[in-house]
Structure 1
Amino acid sequence: MCGSIQPSSPVGFKGFGIAKEKLETRVPFVHEGEEFALGHGSVLIAAITSCTNTSNPSVMLGAGLLAKKAVEAGLKVQPYIKTSLSPGSGVVTRYLQESGVLPHLTALGFHIAGYGCMTCIGNSGPLDEHVVAAIEKGDLVCCGVLSGNRNFEGRIHPHTRANYLASPPLVIAYALAGTVAIDFQSQPIGHSSEDGKPVYLRDIWPSPEEIREVELKHVLPHMFQEVYGNIGRGNERWNSLDAPEGTLYSWDPESTYIRSPPFFSNMTKELKGVSSVEDAHVLLFLGDSVTTDHISPAGNIARNSPAARYLTARGVTPREFNTYGSRRGNDEVMARGTFANIRLVNKFLGRAAPRTIHFPSGDEMDVYEAAERYREEGRPLIILAGKDYGSGSSRDWAAKGPFLQGIKAVIAESFERIHRSNLVGMGIMPLEFLPGESPDTLGLTGKETFCIDIPRDLKPKQTLTVKVSGGQEFGAVARFDTDVELTYFRHGGILNYMIRKMLN
């Protein structure tokens, strides 16, 4: 098991800043007519989710056998905990059915939700409004436990500040316990609903021999052959869809899901060359370990966000907002969703919020709206950041979104490898502070304006001069690591390069 805000972070509440006198905070609430209470560590989401280990028969059958024994012992999962089961393939469903464990998983709330990206990418759906109110009232650090492989801050759900990665059996165990603040060795996982006796995890944990016996009996080759052999046939609903024919897509201007992308709107057939960046303002001043989930969230669209206002203006009700991931074919939504993660910490504000300061006016506003105001004023933008900028998923919109917001360069102490490459692919300059230097050592506040001199004969990893308003200068390494990357940059990104190559 690992967590709580990225796969490499330790299990526990370290870093959440919970005051000692508030560790035992309990907030009562009513759910479906029954009273419950939440505290720090309460589990709100328990998901056996599609990626990583949900095609492993041993752990999936182990989870099923654990569920079977839990039901037989009279244990239940609290009804306010959002549970889900997303098998890695239809074969998993077959052997869960054939082995007889699926009804027990269902009895604990682990219904099959489907096959595909689920909780791991933020498709967990909303929590009960009374649960959310209790979290906000007590400023609680509540939790998600999932069998996926990503748990970056703000990714799983905006109201589960701690999210842990665990095996499918442990997902069920923590769902039964209702909290991660438990020692399974010394504390019962629950009490029987029949006689009230304590039940420990060791009482219901299946042995390797039990799991192996069921696996040998019910995971059979013909299941794989039948399921995968029928994939191309689809199903009645899929086959009845009315799909247009032809090689060109017919764009629907009324669609809020798919729009013609704007990346080629101002493109010219001839290469214009690269210009230096003049008098750029800092849109965001960020710290270390800013992930692609901070930059371009894939989960729920908050009702008070710029993306929500865009959708509402087009007749979409909050119930139909869906997620950023589902609307990534709409650049208007995704540009508004860039830096919309509620866990984003901007040093201009000193708190977590998807907002920034428009320095010419001094106004605080949503990041997208500030970027739009800068664009209207004709002011280029940059980002200042710390170490490991762009860690996490290799999400293309984490580069596309900043491009659409007018970001010309990101100056960071270091970059995650794939995200740096994606920035280059969108024509954004990744600049790295020289060793031993950082915004702090250079005394940068982010309120300055910046000029970046880009020579015509720019070479890979060349040190450029960055001039700061007030007369200060510092060096930064242009993280174009190859001549090919420089070619992409000179074309304004890999998309423009490929189009020009096709035209020629």
Structure 2
Amino acid sequence: MNTSSLPDTLQTLDAGGTTYHYHSLAKAADALGNIDRLPKTLKILLENQLRFADDESVSREDMQALVDWQQQGHSDREIGYRPARVLMQDFTGVPGVVDLASMRAAVESLGEDPARINPLSPVDLVIDHSVMVDKFGNPTAFKDNVAIEMERNHERYEFLRWGQQAFDNFRVVPPGTGICHQVNLEYLGKTVWTKEQDGRILAYPDTLVGTDSHTTMINGLGVLGWGVGGIEAEAAMLGQPVSMLIPEVVGFKLTGKLREGITATDLVLTVTEMLRKKGVVGKFVEFYGDGLKDLPLADRATIANMAPEYGATCGFFPVDDETLTYMRLTGRDDAKLALVEAYSKAQGLWREPGDEPIFSDTLALDMTEVEASLAGPKRPQDRVALKDMKTAFAKVMEDDGKPLSTTEKGKLMSEGGQTAVGVEESYEHHDSQEVDLDGEAFRLNPGAVVIAAITSCTNTSNPSVMMAAGLLARKAREKGLHTKPWVKTSLAPGSKVVTDYLVAGGVQDDLNALGFNLVGYGCTTCIGNSGPLAGPIEEAIEEGDLTVASVLSGNRNFEGRVHPLVKTNWLASPPLVVAYALAGNVQLDLSRDPLGTDHHGQPVFLKDIWPSQAEIAEAVEQVNTEMFRKEYAEVFDGDETWKAIEVPQSKVYQWSKDSTYIQHPPFFEGMGRTPPAIEDVKDARVLAMLGDSVTTDHISPAGAIKPDSPAGRYLQERGVKPVDFNSYGSRRGNHEVMMRGTFANVRIKNEMLDGVVGGETRHVPSGEQMAIYDAAMTYQQEGTPLVVIAGKEYGTGSSRDWAAKGTRLLGVRAVLAESYERIHRSNLIGMGVVPLQFPEGESRKTLGLTGDETVSIEGLGELTPGGKVKVTIASDKGEKTLEALCRIDTANELEYYRHGGILHYVLRKMIGAA
């Protein structure tokens, strides 16, 4: 069979006074078979195959496999998928542009025109991850933080301005605008994309990949998109297909409606818990059911956003009337709305009442059963009912060897038949510390909420929960409640529109009064940009080894992510963030314990200040289309400081050896037109031996740079003072910093060392303990290759390309783990590191490994997708031989590995050498 045997699928439709051409799925079904009950996500993949059918990268067999998927709900077929566009944020985007600039330099060195390296698909980069919460709780916090951000990041921003003028098809949304996912949802996303081709307008689904795992938020708008590693995104923007196996699709049926007092955040934490238990890693999740008709699009986007937390590739919501309502609200024009409706209905992508697609598996939730919840203390899938928070924290303390007293101290209070312990006296502990902060003395106790942050695209894109936070603040203020003095408060919305409607609703002043002043538009606390705590607070935590807490409206709460001194981090809705700032401690059951006392000394309970659904709905009516049109009218322009940045006019970037932010990476050094033969690994040493659920946050440099770390020493040697270190994320364009921070997370546990937490290892055979970076450099000087050994779900978390890039630069040739999460496995291959999997039933534990062994790997030159290789593990106790599964799953991935990485392959192909 070949594509020439397909009927002509190109059809026309009229919408909004314009004629569009499109590749008809109905016409394809005439030849391939009925697709009425094919999941809508797979219909989108099928259209993609139709549009790019060429008998090479896409064949008729690929399309037939998608149709035949309905018979078993899964397929082993590999397909090449080409998204319409690519989305980047600056943490992951800067190294992407650095790689493009480096590729141009490499092409020039090979005697070719560097301008041949250019994005072929539209690319939007949103600068949203650089603002830090240095200033907070005052009217000038936003202005001050932006000024600090521009000063700190001048080198990076100059580089991005160069990229904006040097590359075609590349746009930059300047700092101080919003979070990429919210900007994508409110402005960039089109649901149906169009382009001029052969003198006609071609319409097709808006699809994308992004360099942030929460790219999935756009699934709420009926747009299929997910996060990939930066290197894979770069290949996509350079015209390469994203290689993927046709996924399983899990259907999640929603029925009913949320009860009074229950938020979209409570819903998403429940969905996340359910899907994690179900097991959806590497799968698509598609939501369906008549409950969708009552689920606002902002709530859908909240659920879609957290697909990485429940482990899925995406969490997709089909197009329906609610999609059009949201697009109309956010300022999309009538012609676009007409096209979205006509195209979606013509292609069978429109949600109809009673839709029951065929799925690989299903699960269901009656939304009336959702209860108020948080998640923590260190994983987003670990949901805790609000009423169980007190018990959950007590267990944390018990597990930490610091059990709380079973005898509650403090006076009893009562109201309406409720009895509760006093607000401040109930959680004193032998570790409690006396603190004097700005002339106010208090005790800092275990469970103290030292950070309360309304932050992250997950919730700040949702007017209902944002208005609920503002209304709760208003009611709390009326009662005379105040934020506790030890709480660092912040409000970092995902777009300027949020400020507009909080002001229009009259609640921004109430938030300000409780310390939730605007600190910036960007991803702050959730990404680790929480900034420093007050000096006396940090000293008290360290002196008492206190287990304190953050409460944030984010999607990530992994160990060491929010702040290195904050051991427990709890995800919550924005109104609950405000509530915990008032309560000041997570050692409370807010369903029955008071938040504080009113003007008359009477206890105030959460139920007393929680806004009703009617109040929230009335406030949300303040959100209007003109707000979106005003804020997005000049979205790419930036402020005067951004405009004033001088930009060098050149096709090839002029690297500066003095820059500590942007350096020319060594990935293409000595690269020839043809790839060298792959050598086996002989007598490698173990750089680190890690446990289960090691995240990309553990592996990749993130958060603050410690002065005594290898990265801190590097910067100080170049005259950078610790106060000016900025974050690892901001320095992702400098490989010297990043490789020094790889595996350097303060919470990582290397099992080669007993009782040691942090980025340390044991050099073998000397036995000396040292930083992982220092050990890697010692091994490189000795000419010793390296491997990493790990447990289950290696690489869980964000799509961090530096987790793979840093691994490669440290000299790691292979990772041997029990299982992998999708993005990091792909990224390792993209950097020329082979991911191997222990045979079923085997692990570092069953083999009794200590990390002192040598590891040899044979057969790398004869790899086949999904094949096996011989691994020999030797020690003074003898040798053990394994047949490890090579997790290079597809032919495309094998080709990337053979070339030394995906970018090497793309570069050679673009100059005709591959």
Same fold (TM over 0.5): yes
- Any idea what SS the aligned residue of 1:430 has? strand
- For the 8 Å contact 1:46–1:171, the answer to whether it is kept is yes
- The Cα offsets for residues 347-404 of structure 1, whole Å up to 9 and x where unpaired, read as 1113312111111211101111111111111110001100000001111111011111
Residue pairs, 1:96-115, within 5 angstroms? 96-115=502-521
Counterpart selection for 2:731 from 327, 337, 345: 327
Task: Give 2:488's aligned residue.
Answer: 82
Match of 2:848 in 1: 443
Residue aligning to 1:387 = 792
Higher alpha-carbon deviation: 222-231 or 242-251: 242-251
List per-residue Cα deviations over 1:145-203 (Å, max 9, x = no partner). Answer: 111111111111111111111111111111111111111122111123x4333211111
Residue 471 of structure 1, CA deviation: 2.4
Question: Contact 1:54 / 1:60 at 8 angstroms: preserved in 2?
Answer: yes
Indicate which of 329, 333, 344 corresponds to 2:748. Answer: 344
Structure 1 residue matching 2:601: 3-state secondary structure? coil
Output the CA distance in 2 between the equivalents of 1:353 and 1:130: 24
2:561 alignment counterpart: 155
Q: Distance in 1 between matches of 2:640 and 2:894?
A: 49
Give the residue type in structure 1 aligned to 2:845: D
- Counterpart position of 1:3: 376
- Is the contact made by 1:283 and 1:356 (CA closer than 8 Å) also made in structure 2? yes
1:458 equivalenced with 2:863 (yes/no) = yes
* 1:18 corresponding residue in structure 2: 400
Alignment partner of 1:500 out of 891, 905, 908? 908
CA distance in structure 1 between the aligned counterparts of 2:539 and 2:753, rounded to whole angstroms? 25
1:308 paired residue number: 712
Q: What residue number does 2:448 align with? A: 42
Q: Aligned letter for 1:292?
A: T
2: distance between equivalents of 1:382 and 1:455?
14
1:210 aligned counterpart, secondary structure: helix
| 1:374 counterpart SS class | helix
Post-superposition offset of 1:345: 0.6
Cα 1:476–1:15 change in 2 (3 A) is farther
- Output the amino acid matched with 1:261: P
From 518, 532, 538, the counterpart of 1:132: 538
What is the CA–CA distance in structure 1 between the aligned matches of 2:455 and 2:776, rounded to whole Å?
Answer: 36
| Cα deviation, residue 22, structure 1 | 5.2
SS in 1 for 2:774: helix
Instruction: Provide the C-alpha distance between the structure 2 equivalents of 1:15 and 1:233, rounded to a whole number of angstroms.
Output: 48
1:7 and 1:479 mapped to 2: Cα distance? 27
Please state which structure has a larger fraction of its residues in helix. 2
Paired with 2:653 and 2:600, the residues of 1 have a C-alpha distance of 63
Q: Per-residue deviation at 1:227?
A: 1.1
Task: Please identify the structure whose Cα radius of gyration is greater.
Answer: 2
The question of 1:27 aligning with 2:27 is answered no
**1:461 deviation in Å?**
1.5
Contact 1:6 1:152 in 2 (8 A): yes
Matched, 1:247 2:651: yes
Equivalent residue letter for 1:5: K
Tell me the residue number matched to 1:488.
Answer: 896
Unaligned runs of 5+ in 1: none
Report the equivalent of 1:66: 472
Give the structure 2 partner of residue 371 of structure 1: 776
- How much has 1:232 moved relative to structure 2? 3.1
Match for residue 573 of structure 2?
A: 167
CA distance in 1: counterparts of 2:548 and 2:855, whole angstroms: 41
* Partners of 2:660 and 2:734 within 8 A in 1: yes
- Distance in 1 (alpha carbons) for counterparts of 2:435 and 2:441: 6
State the Cα distance separating 1:10 from its structure 2 match.
Answer: 4.1
SS in 1 for 2:529: coil
State the superposition RMSD in angstroms: 1.5
Q: Which residue of 1 aligns with 2:529?
A: 123
Rounded to whole Å, the distance in 2 between the matches of 1:341 and 1:327 is: 16
Counterpart of 1:474 in structure 2: which amino acid?
L
Q: Does 1:182 align with 2:588?
A: yes
8 Å Cα contact 2:744-2:759 kept in structure 1: yes
Match of 1:287 in 2: 691
**Residue in 2 aligned with 1:203?**
608
Distance 1:474 1:340 in 2: 30
Identity of aligned residues (%): 54
Q: Deviations over 1:291-335 (max 9, x none)?
A: 000001321111221111011011111110110011111111100
Q: CA deviation at 1:8?
A: 1.3
Q: TM-score, normalised by structure 2?
A: 0.54
| Cα deviation 1:204-226 (Å, max 9, x = unaligned) | 1111111111221x111111111
| Contact 1:155 1:297 (8 Å CA) reproduced | no
Pick one of 430, 449, 463 that aligns with 2:835.
Answer: 430
Look up the equivalent residue of 2:643 and give its one-letter code. Answer: N
Match of 2:547 among 107, 117, 141: 141
Q: Distance in 1 between matches of 2:651 and 2:577?
A: 45
2:684 is matched by which residue type in structure 1?
Answer: A
The one-letter code sitting in structure 2 at the alignment partner of 1:159 is: L
My pick for the range that moved more, 16-25 or 2-11, is: 16-25
Shift of 1:455: 4.6
Give SS of 2:436's match: strand
Distance in 1 (CA, whole Å) between partners of 2:751 and 2:862 is 35
Stretch deviating more after TM superposition (131-140 or 251-260): 131-140
